[in-house]
Amino acid sequence: MVLRGILLLSLSGFLGSFVLLGHIASTLAPMYALAMLAVTGYVMARGPRHTLTSFLEYLCSWTMAPRWLFLALAALSLLWTARPAGLAEGSSLTRVLTLLLIQTSAWVVYDATRRLGEFENVLRIIFYSSALGASIALLDLDAVGGYRIRGMFGNPNVLAITGTLGLLTFIGYLCTSMARWERVLAVIPVIALQAAVFSSGSRKGLLGLVIVWLTGLVQRRTRGMTMMVIGLALTASLAAFALAPKLLQDAAFRNLNRLATTFEQSTTSATIDFSAAERARFIEEGLALMAEAPIFGHGLDTFRSLSGEGSYAHNNYIELGVGLGLVGVLVFYTFPLVLIYLLSRLRWRGTSDAGQLAAFGLATLGLILVMDVGAVTYMSKLVSIVPIIIAGAIDARTNADRPRWRA
């Protein structure tokens, strides 16, 4: 029990730091420090022999092979990149080092999921960490910008993506395995997550909410909880709005007005959605840059400099296409496509518990693929790690691994 407590504490520190602190420059130093401390504790508890064996297992997993190949391609792109290769913020080398950090340190959650049978607790940590971040964002009135709330995430879109993934861990999986008392208590963080996603003003976040609700409603095991959560969220939102400070009420009104405007612009040609027009221009410029170097691209993060926009492409497919070419896009998305294939087999040929894992995994990967149309996620620590957690769960079932707690 002591060993398991140390390992779970280490997992909480590792994942919690990635969820809450791994987004903006001002919080990267404590994120790295906490993550390093957590990994050190995990390795010491796991023991040198099991650490080495499990890391080699992680390194040689066929499921994980596309991720390692993508990391190798990103490193090789330093040879032809059009960006600086130094350690300046946003340089190609910095991005490769971040990818290396994500890939190597994610062994912790892969091992805990595959070898220690802690898939449910790993998701629980993500859920509560995301809810904590959402609550901080909602209470941080100084972070309200117009109609959008960002909190310590630094960007409302990051808040929306983190909140949506955190919510999906509960609706898609945890509500089927939690004890009744915990499901009742979990309603509070669920409401906070939904409120934060809405308050972010992110349209991809709102689309993500719809996907999360549909995921819960189409499954018999999650339908009742999903309906209750939606009803409670609406009721709590009305009550909170009546008691909220005027600053938050004004932000909510502007958010509702933006949604109405978005709907009007999508159904008529009377007005122009400037955000959509800008993103369409990014796609057009990105495709032109891809045509100049279609195979291996111009190097990581070159869209912002070569396009003259001074910004990333706001589209993961275009960002990777410009940076690493068609080869990079293919290698990167091979990983989720392999997971989708394996989960689909698990869905139809496994037990009911395996089917629940498959349903959650397919919903999560589908959500990420949809969000990638409007966000650049290949550098996101949380978005990168969640599919690796799913891969660990798949490998555990495929190889019939049993939990091993001896160090």
pLDDT by residue (tens digit) across 136-176? 888 875 655 556 777 778 788 899 999 999 999 999 999 98
- For 149, phi then psi, to 5°, come to -110, 135
**Structural domain spans, the chain:** 118-271
Contact 194/183 with Cβ under 8 angstroms? no
Torsion angle, CA of 335/202/128/11, rounded to 10 degrees? Answer: 40
- How far is 153 from 375, CA to CA, in rounded Å? 15
pLDDT band at 233 (very low <50, low <70, confident <90, very high): confident
Q: What's the chain's Rg over C-alpha atoms?
A: 21
pLDDT by residue (tens digit) across 320-343? 999 999 999 999 999 999 999 999
Which residues, at least 6 apart from 406, have a Cβ–Cβ distance to it below 8 Å? 50
CA atoms within 13 A on the CB side of 18: 30
Nearest to 240 by CA among 170, 187, 191, 201: 191
Q: Print the SS3 string covering 25-84.
A: HHHHHHHHHHHHHHHHHHHHHHCHHHHHHHHHHHHHCCCCHHHHHHHHHHHHHHHCCCCC
Nearest to 26 by CA among 166, 143, 144: 143
- How far is 284 from 208, CA to CA, in rounded Å? 25
Query: 3-state DSSP call for residue 380?
Result: coil
Report pTM: 0.89
Q: What single string gives the DSSP state of each residue in 1-27?
A: -HHHHHHHHHHHHHHHHHHHHSSSHHH
CA atoms within 13 A on the CB side of 89: 4
Of the listed ranges 248-252, 266-270, 288-292, 311-315, the least confidently predicted one is 266-270
Of the listed ranges 77-81, 98-102, 401-405, the least confidently predicted one is 401-405
pLDDT by residue (tens digit) across 174-224? 998 889 899 888 988 998 898 888 888 788 888 898 899 999 998 888 888
Q: Which residue has the higher pLDDT, 84 or 218?
A: 218
Mean pLDDT of 388-400: 89
Nearest to 127 by CA among 173, 166, 71, 168: 166
pLDDT band at 309 (very low <50, low <70, confident <90, very high): confident
